[in-house]
Amino acid sequence: MSADTPTQRFGSGQAVRRLEDDALLTGAGRYTEDLRQPGDGCLVFVRSPYAHARIVGVKTDDALAMPGVRAVLTGAQLVAEGVPPMPTGAAFPRADGSPCATPQRLPLAHEAARFVGEAVAAVVADSVQQAKDAAEAVWVEYEELPVVPSLAAALAEGAPALWPAAPDNIACEARHGDAVACAAAFAQAAHVVRLDLTHQRLAALTLEPRTVRAWPEDGRMQVQISSQMPTAVRTVVAKALGVAPEQVRVRVGDVGGGFGMKGAPYPEDVVVALAARATGRPVVWAAERSEEFLSSCHGRDVQTHAELALAADGAILGLRVHSNANVGAYAQPTGVAIPLLIGPWVQTSVYHVPVIDFHFRAVLTNQAPTGAYRGAGRPEAIYNIERLMDEAARQTGIDRLQLRRRNFVRPEQMPYTNPMQQTYDVGRFEQVLDGALPLADWAGFEARAAESRARGLWRGLGIATFLEWTGGNVFEERVTVEVKGDLSGDGFIEVFSAVNQMGQGIATTLAQLVVDAFDVPIERVRVVLGDTDRGNGFGSAGSRSIFTGGSALRTGAERTLDEARKLAAQALEAAPEDLRYAAGRFHVAGTDHAIGLFELAARQAGGHIFVEHSYTVSGPSWPNGCHISEVELDPQTGAVAVVRYASMNDVGRVVNPMIVRGQLDGGAVQGIGQALHEQIVYDGASGQLLTGSLMDYAAPRADDIATEFITAMDESIPCTNNPLGVKGVGELGTIGATPCIVNAVADALARNGRADLAPKLQMPLSPGRLWELLLG
């Protein structure tokens, strides 16, 4: 194949510039807020100022009489209309075998508000300011109820019960492994390492806040939304409206970040659609940043006690992990599944662990509900095991690299089934470690540490070797492929997929896969996403977009080309097997007879070749990596600077290395943010949110990141569970960065005579927290 073919220039393996970027950089992006039209109703929510209160009554007369007000909705009104609750609960029982216990979450709170910021009423007016003024005129009578403001408070002796079916505030729980066998392993261990670890609550901080526009049209409800999963939104909105899903069309344009937070339907989505129905006109709601902090799903918030048993030679004998997850006021499906099942799937990571004893509990509090946030359970699990591995190295005196090598799952063990019955198809974990060490100049660290010491700084070297699970365990995806043309040979290929863009470059990557199949210039490819009238699927979450959606597109494109080959054979009066295809044309072998793909499409009924296709991959993918960081700790102030960062990442086959590197680096920055800066904080008595703005919530900035930041990819180990050989990449950096950074700070302490402080480190490692720890 000539180096000048479309595939060589634009196909897989090429760092094609993102097709999405020209519009975004020139201000031509089409975010939901950009679609607001003159005359749209503006919706503003009335939110509870109390963490827990009985709603005695809601009076709306004064608000309805104010200028420009079109409607006021209340929880009592929606209940009277038969609007159902939002999806809650999960397929996990309580300890006594009873179902998961959680209050029902209504689109607007009725009878009780259960966290500060819960929506109680909604006002629609001609302008945002009119709606805000009227919202202040809605009079809500509250009767304060006992508050459970934290995880510790929820589990304390005599704590108020937040829901009758959960008198202990435990919504549900899960146990995995063999507790008896694990106890026996610990009994014979030469070394036992124990850590109490905090995975603090985080905010997703998308650049674009949640935004919804809904309007009735031709007897259907139209919804434009900033979401990762339009089909899920369609399902919930249709149920709320009491109509068939086909009566709701959900579209998604540009999305300014999701990070999992936009992966599930929200009460606000439903209320906007109900308001549009009530007024008969378009209604728009765009969240303010303070609303996002208050009411969007938070991530993490798990307290863990972890224990690792080792033989004298460092071989792992058993792992015991007991965790309590603060799922907030409502036990949402993802909020429960993430700590009770998804995280545990990777808890043993890249290591062979013979036996486990896991016990996880989902606990109700008067805080905002938790849900998916980049990594969704895997960062917590990997943080647990990597902190244990480094602490085990310190306590046993075994070199931490050798300890990891001793316990890696070996390539010859693949496919390997871990104690959670998850099967890794491939993996060469020691090879990835060996690739990372020279990138980080591991051998040269001592000289750099001496230089730092001369400046009064403590330098530490951190490492994390790990894997993650991707695919969302929803392995089927649907695509359509349409070749449109005219008799002059002009035309294009339009593909639709139910995966969704949210800033990750998915449209460009999908277009490259089309180029691979059809060998046409990338400007001949159009990628359509985010329209439930065009197709429905799971959406984009769990790093599944290329893994599942890309695989469906590749096989769908191949099927379309097979169809075109049959049609070309008829047009050229040749056998299909005698045709050769290249650069958008079919040729009869050994002759000059040929026909272009687009001319061929123009000759068909409707002027196109159209294929609808579904494909199911055979299992999840298991991307993995080795991340190594260096930090400088100032013992006088507690300030930590990340001065070097290097990573080797096994993500299987890479379609667009520029996009993949961007995902890895962006993920790592978010992981660094958790390690050093970020934390949602509620008042310990009232349950009021204390970090309700970017003045209070510290996000990572560009100057927090090392100037020596090296990211490499090992493509020699393709995934065998999909035809592309790809592995999910969107969350990998986040999962590796957090333990890598904290292990570096622990190493800095240990190298300077304070190894006793290493087990006490808790995120975020803010200067004040570290300074206080150093003072003792």
pTM of the predicted model as reported, rounded to 2 decimal places: 0.96
The 10s digit of each residue's pLDDT in 424-456 is: 999 999 999 999 999 999 999 999 999 999 999
Q: What CA–CA distance (Å, rounded) separates 333 from 263? A: 12
- Look at residue 489 in the predicted model and tell me its pLDDT: 79
Residue 377 pLDDT class (50, 70, 90 cuts):
very high
Residues 245-269, mean pLDDT to the nearest whole number:
95
- Domain membership flag for residue 158: no
Host domain of residue 570: 6-30+472-616
Is the pLDDT score of 722 beyond 80?
yes
What does the mean pLDDT of the chain come to?
95
655 burial (CB, 10 Å; 0-12 / 13-18 / 19+) is buried
Residue 611 shares a structural domain with residue 625:
no
CA angle 33, 38, 44 (to 5 degrees): 55
- Look at residue 1 in the predicted model and tell me its pLDDT: 47
Residue 772 shares a structural domain with residue 638:
yes
Amino acid identity for residue 37 in this structure? Q
- Which CATH number characterizes residue 14's domain? 3.30.365.10
- Look at residue 359 in the predicted model and tell me its pLDDT: 98
Is the pLDDT score of 2 beyond 70?
no
Amino acid identity for residue 328 in this structure? G
Residue 651 shares a structural domain with residue 760:
yes
- CB atoms near residue 98 (< 10 Å): 11
* 145: CB partners within 8 A, 6+ apart: 52, 53, 54, 112, 160
Query: Tokens for 635?
Result: 């013992």
Residue 571 shares a structural domain with residue 699:
no
- Look at residue 486 in the predicted model and tell me its pLDDT: 86
Domains: count for the chain = 2
Point out the domain boundary residue: 616, 635, 670: 616
Residue 589 shares a structural domain with residue 671:
no
- Look at residue 34 in the predicted model and tell me its pLDDT: 92
Point out the domain boundary residue: 616, 639, 667: 616
Point out the domain boundary residue: 616, 648, 682: 616
Q: What CA–CA distance (Å, rounded) separates 266 from 637? A: 42
Q: Which of 3-7, 339-343, 367-371, 731-735 has the lowest mean pLDDT?
A: 3-7
Q: What CA–CA distance (Å, rounded) separates 654 from 651? A: 7
Amino acid identity for residue 525 in this structure? V
Tell me the three state secondary structure of residue 530: coil
Residue 631 shares a structural domain with residue 756:
yes
What single-letter DSSP state applies at residue 486?
Answer: -
- Domain membership flag for residue 652: yes
Is the pLDDT score of 544 beyond 90?
no
The 10s digit of each residue's pLDDT in 688-699 is: 999 999 999 999
The 10s digit of each residue's pLDDT in 638-679 is: 999 999 999 999 999 999 999 999 999 999 999 999 999 999
Query: Tokens for 770?
Result: 């570290």
Closest CA to 512 of 719, 722, 724, 656: 656
- Domain membership flag for residue 163: no
Q: Which of 20-24, 376-380, 663-667, 711-715 has the lowest mean pLDDT?
A: 20-24
- Domain membership flag for residue 500: yes
Residue 508 shares a structural domain with residue 459:
no
Q: What CA–CA distance (Å, rounded) separates 364 from 169? A: 5
Residue 476 shares a structural domain with residue 565:
yes
Is the pLDDT score of 475 beyond 90?
no
The 10s digit of each residue's pLDDT in 103-122 is: 999 999 999 999 999 999 99
Residue 589 shares a structural domain with residue 664:
no
Is the pLDDT score of 419 beyond 90?
yes
357 burial (CB, 10 Å; 0-12 / 13-18 / 19+) is buried
Q: What phi and psi, each to the nearest 5 degrees, are found at residue 266? A: -115, 160
Residue 3 pLDDT class (50, 70, 90 cuts):
low
